[in-house]
Structure 1
Amino acid sequence: MDGARQGASPDERRLHPWSWLFVLLQQLKQFIFPLVALVVFGARRSSGDGELWASLAPVIGITVLVVLAILQYFTYRYTIGRDGLTVREGLLHRSRREIPFSRIHNVVVHQSLLHRVFGVAEVRLESAGGTKPEAQMRVLGLHDALALEDLVRHQSHGTAPVAPGQEAAPRDEGTTLLSLSTMEVLRLGLISNRGMIVVAAGFGAAWQILPENVMAQFFRQGAKQAYGYAEGLHLGWLTGAVGGVALIGVALALVRLLSVALALSQFHGFRLTEEPRRLMVERGLFARLRTSVARRRIQAWTLHEGVLHRLFGRRSLRIDTAVAEKSGQQDTRALKDVAPIAPPEACDALISHLLPQAHWPRDDWRAVDASARWRLWLPSLAWLLPVTALVAWQFGAWVWLPGLAWMLAAAYAARRQAHRIGWALDDHLVAVRSGWWSRYWRFAEIDKLQALRLSRSPLDHRMGTATLWLDTAGASGMSAPLALRFIPEADAVVVHERLTTALARRRLHW
């Protein structure tokens, strides 16, 4: 790594000389909107000396940011010890942080396109708690970043770290468990819905940023022009309907193309490798991300299969880890996608290899109570009946025909979903499965459970059933629930007592 600099102790190291540039760019991202607003609105409202001040203010602001970025380079130092890192930073307000290697649960080496041009990388050392990384180094030389990653990896293996100034041992790239070809990444883009998420986020941001009624006026003008153009062509209602459907199809195709582009950008060159007691993922086309996690930090597993997955004969496998999800950077930090897309046999093989006690795929699924069929239908029926009745009152009784057809379709979907719901439990693992249209399997080792909650709704009291909710560390609000639903109360009590005993035994061992 970078050697000692003048004015620093022999063991202290600094960031890469270009680090100030990347700190400046990060600060500009945060202050770009205030600076633009200052230029635009200041130019509109100023005249004379005020106009001169308005034109100089952004220059002064950028100059201040440059000075702060350079000061961070000169004041940020870190020292590698035998048991951890020491980080010192600050000029007027100085801080010193001791970071034991045992506290570091995840190492992220991130390279944007600009990082790759300069041959540098950003390193984040993450723990299982907190709202920010234990240390965030913008930026280190790529060789130094990989050496620091190796250092943490060696510590997790129980081997001695590389001493300062000592040549690092040849890098062990580990055993490749899964790699995605370009064709597989293209399939992932077609299956995923990332493009729609980006479009929705863009509309939401535009609605918040643009002045009031601008978006509404934009849509009104667009609809009026489209209607006028169609009216000028003197199209019949059937041709107009076909044209509208074609436009919707083109829009959906463009969104899918955007999804493919995003998948290529994020998952090109995806490679999952296994090292002793650790998993590592490297991916990205323009920005390369290299992140690893200790296998013992894996808390829960989710196997997902949507309609398009089944069409392409694929599934996805994700994990929850003990590394906390930091706000705003979920995708670029903790390792989540073990297999973004893979054949079902490959996903099953991965689970069997990484979690042999799971005995996957399982054949001991237990069905839920028969009342789940109509209870899953109730939510759809609760809004379909009043809506259909209201529309039929306005437009005539014929509306009941599509309404009843919808109710029957919802009943069929509820029946199929109830047939799919199941749970399994042994001495090592608890697993649930659910979904019909979009299916998922979620499971966790019993030793990784954090909390249990047994709940009963009024319907549960009536039907003699209960729901057992199981919580694990690292689960996000978007994850499928790890819950045993619609099971007989007696079974729920037995499972609750069994898991409670297992958790109590684990705490005693601590």
Structure 2
Amino acid sequence: MTTPEAVSPLLPADAERRLHPGSWLFVLLQNLRQFIVPLAVLLFAGGRRDDGYPWWLPMLGVGALVVVSIWQYLTFRYRIADDRLIVRSGLLERSVRQIPYSRIHNVAIHQSLLHRLIGVAEVRLESAGGTKPEAEMRVLRLPEALALEQLIRDRGSAPATAAADGAAPPAPAGTTLLALSTIEVVKLGLISNRGMIVVAGAVALSFQVLPERTMGRWLFEGGREAFGYASGFATTWLAKGMVLAAFVAVALALIRAFSVLLALVRYHGFRLQRQGRRLTVERGLLSRSRSSVPRRRIQAWTLRESVLHRLFARRTLEIDTASARAGDGQGNANGQRGLDALAPIAPPDTCDAILRDIAVLPAWPPAEWRPLHPRAWLRLLLGDALLTAVLCGVLAWFFQWWGALGLLWLPWSGFVARRHAARAGYAIDDALVAVREGWWSRHWRLAEIGKLQAVELRQSPLDRGFGMASVWLDTAGAGALAPQLRLRLLPLSDAERLHARLAAAIARRPLRW
């Protein structure tokens, strides 16, 4: 995908335009995916009967979907106005939707393999609220889709006077902030290990879809055959164990290879660009996606660093946006919206440079992180010790003194608590609040104070005993898997002071979307 230089010849103002003539075909394919199960049931049910069952009945359903798809194509129009996009659809039940350019949160352009072969693209226009896009255009010619994205980017950030005159400032040249090579994408696959997630999901699905105990029987028979094969040329238990360990290592290597393959399919050709006030991410091997979001829509930032990240000297930079939903952020037919990762993998210095450039944080990373309460490690250890004691008591009830072996976990818990408390900290100034947590797997979470929506002071019974409290902060668009933005285990006086300071700052500043 490349941004066209000229917009006006492709998108003349005040002229209603249709979608691509082949748009109905893609709408039909989308509808078929939704109704494939009932249509398959009707088709296979008719094929097994000899009593005159109308086998052509499913074809009527397909024909109805064809008519609906062509109907949607014939009744869909859109028009480019000075300050808004006007979308008309429907014939019996008509709809006219007016979408101001300044309210469009994300412009998502998606190309499947079929889209790329025909030279078209699917466009979704998303605002900061709602559960579905403001407009979906299946499909436009690719130059037209890119021209629409550029027009929305230019006019959405243009001053009101310029929009009223029907003129927008020239599009600024895009600045590439990050481009991932194939080697970097391979490293991402090795670090993320998404192959294990897919394999676990496939196994769980097989238990639901296959007949009862089928998957368990396959696993048992496969394990028995592997053990028998190992016993054929390994005579001692040590040799057998080594052979089985080799089998496990090969299986894990295959899962990692699958994870690398998934990363290549998803992130091949990844490019992050800053074009004026908008950020654009383009990626994909077979299906290409291009998503654009204004910088002002970013609500919070997350830096992640696992053990494997540190092994490769890399980090991941993610963002929360006002309309983010769980998913991969491609804005495709699977329901994902928005951007999730600005830098799926990058060196720490590159992630910090992106933060300084986009978030306008010249002092990032902070020069000084404020520590937690001096006894924060003891508070963390005590919580783990209470849970361990309860679990050991339950195990001892069933397994007698063997259950007490779980207490051997306590020294490790103490070590982890000390390391976590030593690394954790927070930084706060007039514009930014940031926290860092974790020891084995680390993360940094930060947000502009103007983007905070609520602040809460929390104390558990253990916190009160230690004279501690935590300050929890809420932002829009936080994902379910995103770490919490919280200042944990602070001295009570510091927590109360920060709570009052942040509450006053939130009350003074208007909400910045």
Partners of 1:303 and 1:434 in 2: CA distance? 11
Candidates 448, 452, 455, aligned match of 2:451: 448
Provide closer, same or farther for how the CA distance between residues 487 and 42 of structure 1 changes in structure 2, counting only shifts above 3 A.
farther
Residue type of the partner of 1:471? Answer: D
Partners of 2:176 and 2:447 in 1: CA distance? 24
Partners of 1:508 and 1:256 in 2: CA distance? 44
Q: Secondary structure at the match of 1:60?
A: helix
Q: Secondary structure at the match of 2:293?
A: strand
Candidates 470, 473, 493, aligned match of 1:470: 473
Structure 1: tracts of 5 or more residues without a match: none
**Contact between 1:75 and 1:91, CA under 8 Å: does it hold in 2?**
yes
**Contact between 1:2 and 1:14, CA under 8 Å: does it hold in 2?**
no
Aligned to 2:85: 85
Aligned to 2:344: 340
Provide closer, same or farther for how the CA distance between residues 432 and 255 of structure 1 changes in structure 2, counting only shifts above 3 A.
same
**Contact between 1:84 and 1:99, CA under 8 Å: does it hold in 2?**
yes
Deviation at 1:299, TM superposition (A): 0.8
Deviation at 1:37, TM superposition (A): 2.8
Partners of 2:466 and 2:385 in 1: CA distance? 19
Provide closer, same or farther for how the CA distance between residues 210 and 36 of structure 1 changes in structure 2, counting only shifts above 3 A.
farther
Aligned to 2:262: 262
Partners of 2:394 and 2:484 in 1: CA distance? 35
Provide closer, same or farther for how the CA distance between residues 139 and 451 of structure 1 changes in structure 2, counting only shifts above 3 A.
same
Deviation at 1:197, TM superposition (A): 1.7
Candidates 359, 364, 367, aligned match of 1:360: 364
Partners of 1:267 and 1:223 in 2: CA distance? 35
Partners of 1:490 and 1:387 in 2: CA distance? 35
Aligned to 1:372: 376
Candidates 404, 417, 421, aligned match of 1:418: 421
Partners of 1:188 and 1:173 in 2: CA distance? 29
Deviation at 1:282, TM superposition (A): 1.2
Deviation at 1:464, TM superposition (A): 1.3
Candidates 34, 37, 40, aligned match of 2:38: 34
Q: Does 1:431 align with 2:431?
A: no
Aligned residue pair count: 498
Deviation at 1:157, TM superposition (A): 2.8
**Contact between 1:16 and 1:141, CA under 8 Å: does it hold in 2?**
yes
Between 304-313 and 206-215, report the one with greater CA deviation: 206-215
Aligned to 1:109: 109
Deviation at 1:359, TM superposition (A): 1.2
Residue type of the partner of 1:294? Answer: P
Between 388-397 and 487-496, report the one with greater CA deviation: 388-397
Candidates 410, 413, 430, aligned match of 1:407: 410
Deviation at 1:429, TM superposition (A): 0.5
**Contact between 1:2 and 1:144, CA under 8 Å: does it hold in 2?**
no
**Contact between 2:268 and 2:283, CA under 8 Å: does it hold in 1?**
yes
Deviation at 1:507, TM superposition (A): 3.6
Deviation at 1:354, TM superposition (A): 2.1
Provide closer, same or farther for how the CA distance between residues 62 and 221 of structure 1 changes in structure 2, counting only shifts above 3 A.
farther
Provide closer, same or farther for how the CA distance between residues 279 and 303 of structure 1 changes in structure 2, counting only shifts above 3 A.
same
Provide closer, same or farther for how the CA distance between residues 301 and 110 of structure 1 changes in structure 2, counting only shifts above 3 A.
same
Q: Does 1:62 align with 2:62?
A: yes
Partners of 1:228 and 1:324 in 2: CA distance? 51
Alignment of 1:139-178 (within 5 A): 139-158=139-158, 173-178=173-178
Provide closer, same or farther for how the CA distance between residues 262 and 185 of structure 1 changes in structure 2, counting only shifts above 3 A.
same
Partners of 2:369 and 2:509 in 1: CA distance? 26
Aligned to 2:355: 351
Alignment of 1:4-15 (within 5 A): 11-15=15-19
Residue type of the partner of 1:62? Answer: V
Residue type of the partner of 1:76? Answer: F
Aligned to 1:97: 97
Q: Secondary structure at the match of 1:12?
A: coil
Aligned to 2:222: 222
Partners of 1:2 and 1:56 in 2: CA distance? 49
Q: Secondary structure at the match of 1:356?
A: coil
**Contact between 2:473 and 2:486, CA under 8 Å: does it hold in 1?**
yes
Output one character per residue of 1:445-474: Cα deviation in whole Å (capped at 9) or x when no partner.
Answer: 100101111111111111111111101111
Output one character per residue of 1:60-79: Cα deviation in whole Å (capped at 9) or x when no partner.
Answer: 22222111111111111111
Deviation at 1:291, TM superposition (A): 1.0
**Contact between 2:324 and 2:479, CA under 8 Å: does it hold in 1?**
no
Output one character per residue of 1:140-165: Cα deviation in whole Å (capped at 9) or x when no partner.
Answer: 0001101110110111231767999x
Aligned to 2:3: none
Partners of 1:382 and 1:244 in 2: CA distance? 38
Provide closer, same or farther for how the CA distance between residues 362 and 88 of structure 1 changes in structure 2, counting only shifts above 3 A.
same
Provide closer, same or farther for how the CA distance between residues 217 and 60 of structure 1 changes in structure 2, counting only shifts above 3 A.
farther
Q: Secondary structure at the match of 2:473?
A: strand
Q: Secondary structure at the match of 1:79?
A: strand
Provide closer, same or farther for how the CA distance between residues 243 and 376 of structure 1 changes in structure 2, counting only shifts above 3 A.
farther
**Contact between 2:456 and 2:473, CA under 8 Å: does it hold in 1?**
yes
Deviation at 1:288, TM superposition (A): 1.2
Aligned to 2:121: 121
Partners of 1:461 and 1:234 in 2: CA distance? 60
Residue type of the partner of 1:491? Answer: D
Partners of 1:502 and 1:163 in 2: CA distance? 38
Aligned to 2:207: 207
**Contact between 1:122 and 1:138, CA under 8 Å: does it hold in 2?**
yes
Between 191-200 and 168-177, report the one with greater CA deviation: 168-177
Candidates 2, 15, 24, aligned match of 1:20: 24
Partners of 1:508 and 1:197 in 2: CA distance? 38
Q: Secondary structure at the match of 1:494?
A: helix
**Contact between 2:307 and 2:440, CA under 8 Å: does it hold in 1?**
yes
Candidates 494, 497, 502, aligned match of 1:494: 497
**Contact between 1:130 and 1:324, CA under 8 Å: does it hold in 2?**
no
Deviation at 1:358, TM superposition (A): 5.6
**Contact between 2:14 and 2:81, CA under 8 Å: does it hold in 1?**
no
Structure 2: tracts of 5 or more residues without a match: 1-6, 332-336
Q: Secondary structure at the match of 2:478?
A: coil
**Contact between 1:465 and 1:489, CA under 8 Å: does it hold in 2?**
yes
Q: Secondary structure at the match of 1:367?
A: coil
Deviation at 1:27, TM superposition (A): 1.4
**Contact between 2:324 and 2:339, CA under 8 Å: does it hold in 1?**
no
**Contact between 2:127 and 2:323, CA under 8 Å: does it hold in 1?**
yes
Aligned to 2:4: none
Deviation at 1:235, TM superposition (A): 3.9
Residue type of the partner of 2:451? Answer: K
Aligned to 1:459: 462
